[in-house]
Amino acid sequence: MDSVESMAYLRKEEETVEIDYSLAKIWTGIQQVLTTLEWSTEQIDEKEHQIKAKTKAGSWSFSSILLINLMPVNENTTRVSVKSETPMTMIIGIIDFNQGKRRIAQFFEELAKQLAS
């Protein structure tokens, strides 16, 4: 029988939004979001404004890797791109119900709260 790793594949999701806040404010907010959600920071690139974070695993799902990239549009607007990569197996893939999309939505919801405070 194959191991779980050999039966796994990555489910990828992505969302990009433009937010009417400066890059510096969003950068600070994102770090607070990761702390609040108790997601770990795997890598951080201060110069390129990129973060690789790992979410918690759920009861019926693996953890996801989120690749977060910030890009200034202008002084008061920032483009935030979030890509999610979640390992799947045939069984988990059936019951996953777009966990990557939900985690991206959870990230943006928490970011909105941080920016509003």
Q: Report the pLDDT value the prediction gives residue 3, as an integer from 0 to 100.
A: 43
Q: b/e map of 82-107 (b: 16 or more CB within 10 Å)?
A: bbbebbbbeebbeebeebbbbbbeeb
Token couple for 71: 């890009």
Q: pLDDT digit of tens for each residue in the chain (117 aa)?
A: 344 444 466 678 899 999 999 999 999 999 999 999 999 999 999 999 999 999 988 666 678 899 999 999 999 999 999 999 877 655 554 555 677 889 999 999 999 999 998
The helix (H) or strand (E) run that includes residue 32 is: helix 23-37
CATH number at residue 70: 3.30.530.20
SS3 state of residue 81: strand
What's the structural domain count of the chain?
Answer: 1
Per-residue pLDDT, 39: 96
The boundaries of the domain holding residue 87 are: 4-116
- pLDDT at position 14, please? 92
Compute the distance between CA of residue 35 and CA of residue 4 in angstroms, rounded to an integer.
30
- Is 64 strand, coil or helix? coil
